[in-house]
């Protein structure tokens, strides 16, 4: 496999003249990095290149830990016409991500060790770190719990039935208790279908214009309220996935203050767009949970700013052009997000002053790494040379994607923050 062959090589490299952004240490400083055999060997100003050492000039650029995305859909196995492990890895590398956590709603579902082992074995051939979450319930039915201990032993990094809510509170509470005992996060898709008539579009002004009912915010808020309480009682690390409602943010804030080990994900599309985007972009702005109001968007930004929301995750959800060409009610929900996430964070959060660059990177590197117990998110001697090098001030427009799919409303947008290079294990896996 490529990883093993790769580590047989002697790899020596210096990254010179860059500004190091280390969110784990909360430091932004100028220094050089020496990389040897996939690890950071030395951090010091004005390092002198040795014979045979490759030199990368990062003058004017930020050198940061490789990004970590806790919520992606690589559609493999079962839906590889949309994405597979390889194209997903290419998309991640182009977006500066060196570690991703794949969701379990594949076909077959990742509810058994055989399917998990197949994915993880094939993932070893890719240039990024691909982690895999397993499902909480067999076949995503919310009825019979998977053997979470056996799945963790087989390599599952966490548990989720993402895409489908767990409606049975007692069942979920038992799963939280098991996740707590195993010291792994359990991540929840919070949309009660009993409130929803047409998913993917907020119940509001735009849905009324379209003549459909849509998905009201209470569908999310009702489950978030329940699950915040279950998290407090179970003591589990519980992730509220792709949070979209301002009331949901306030619930997480309140229960965190009470001591619940809650974590919340915000996607770039939810902190950037509102339901009005559906009128402009059609099905490219359809996702679960849906884009909501400007008040909700601003509440998410406040939650990001005060730490209530501690994760930024893409919910990278590829679909084919044919699927997205269907009617607004028939098309599947979701957009791709890996290749625009950092730039949207810089454009929508850092440049307006909502977050500092280090605060943005904290939510995209060290926080997700710590939650999932991953060796990522740090720039220090002895750590893996998983790095992203970018120019936060360079303007660019997404026009083509490494993903197999291109279902994004952000195509053609003017964004800031151009990724110049991504390294994983000291190997250059993407260059602009």
Q: How many helices (H) and strands (E) does the chain have?
A: 15, 16
Known catalytic membership, residue 386 = no
As a dihedral over the C-alpha atoms of residue 4, residue 6, residue 7, residue 11, rounded to 10 degrees, the angle is 180
The burial of 321, by beta-carbon neighbours within 10 Å (0-12 exposed, 13-18 middle, 19 or more buried), is given as: exposed
Q: Which residues, 6+ apart, have CB-to-CB distance to 163 below 8 Å?
A: 103, 105, 140, 189, 288
- Do 98 and 56 contact (CB within 8 A), yes or no? no
Q: How many residues does the chain have?
A: 432
Q: What is the DSSP letter of 329?
A: T
* Active-site entry in 192, 227, 315, 386: 315
CB contact set of 407 (below 8 Å; sequence gap of 6+): 283, 284, 317, 318, 319, 321, 324, 334, 335, 336
Separation CA 314–CA 196 (nearest Å):
23
Give the span between the Cα atoms of 155 and 416, in whole angstroms: 37
| CA atoms of 229 and 238, how far apart (whole Å) | 11
| Cβ-based burial of 305 (10 A; exposed 0-12, middle 13-18, buried ≥19) | middle
- The tokens describing 190, both together, are 């919070």
SS3 428: strand
The answer to whether 357 and 348 have CB atoms below 8 angstroms apart is: no
Residues 6 or more apart whose CB falls under 8 angstroms from that of 204 comprise 214, 275, 292, 293
Please state, in angstroms and rounded to a whole number, the distance separating the CA atoms of residues 332 and 317. 10
Place of tokens 């269907």: 326
Measure the CA–CA gap between 335 and 22, rounded to whole angstroms.
30
Residue whose pair of structure tokens reads 């977006």 in the numeric block: 95
Listed in sequence order, the DSSP H helices in 102-168 are 113-123, 148-153
Q: Identify which of 133, 122, 117 has the alpha carbon closest to the alpha carbon of residue 313.
A: 133
Residues recognised as catalytic: 315
């Amino acid at each position: 496999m490529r990883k093993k062959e790769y580590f047989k090589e002697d790899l020596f490299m210096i990254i010179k003249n860059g500004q190091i952004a280390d969110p784990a240490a909360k430091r932004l400083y100028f220094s050089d990095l020496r990389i040897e055999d996939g690890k950071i060997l030395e951090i010091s100003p004005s390092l002198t290149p040795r014979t045979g050492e490759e030199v990368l000039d990062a003058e004017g650029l930020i050198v940061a830990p490789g990004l970590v995305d806790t919520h992606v859909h690589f559609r493999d196995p079962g839906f590889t016409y949309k994405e597979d492990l390889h194209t997903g890895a290419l998309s991640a590398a182009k977006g500066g991500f060196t570690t991703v956590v794949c969701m379990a709603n594949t076909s077959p579902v990742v509810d058994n060790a055989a399917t998990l082992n197949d994915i993880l074995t094939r993932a070893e051939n890719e240039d990024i770190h691909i982690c895999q979450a397993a499902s909480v319930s067999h076949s995503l039915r919310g009825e019979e719990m998977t053997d979470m201990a056996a799945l963790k032993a087989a390599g599952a990094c966490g548990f989720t039935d993402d895409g489908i809510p767990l409606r049975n509170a007692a069942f979920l509470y038992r799963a939280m208790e098991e996740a707590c005992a195993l010291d792994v996060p359990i991540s929840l898709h919070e949309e009660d279908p009993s409130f929803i008539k047409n998913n993917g579009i907020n119940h509001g002004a735009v849905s009324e214009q379209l003549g459909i009912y849509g998905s009201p915010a209470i569908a999310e808020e009702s489950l978030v309220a329940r699950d915040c309480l279950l998290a407090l009682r179970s003591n589990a690390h519980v992730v509220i996935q792709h949070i979209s409602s301002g009331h949901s943010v306030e619930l997480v804030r309140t229960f965190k203050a009470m001591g619940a080990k809650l974590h919340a994900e915000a996607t770039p599309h939810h902190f950037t767009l509102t339901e009005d985007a559906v009128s402009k972009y059609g099905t490219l702005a359809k996702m679960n949970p849906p884009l909501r109001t400007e008040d909700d968007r601003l509440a998410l930004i406040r939650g990001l700013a005060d730490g209530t929301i501690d994760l930024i995750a893409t919910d990278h959800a590829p679909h084919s052009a044919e699927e997205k060409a269907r009617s607004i009610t028939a098309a599947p929900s979701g957009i791709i997000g890996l290749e625009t996430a950092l730039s949207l964070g810089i454009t929508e959060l850092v440049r307006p002053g909502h977050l500092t660059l280090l605060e943005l990177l904290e939510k995209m590197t060290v926080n997700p790494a710590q939650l999932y117990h991953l060796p990522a998110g740090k720039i220090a001697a002895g750590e893996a040379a998983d790095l992203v090098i970018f120019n936060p001030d360079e303007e660019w427009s997404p026009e083509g994607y490494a993903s197999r799919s291109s279902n994004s409303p952000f195509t053609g947008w003017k964004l800031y923050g151009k990724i110049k290079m991504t390294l994983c294990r000291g190997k250059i896996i993407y260059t602009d």
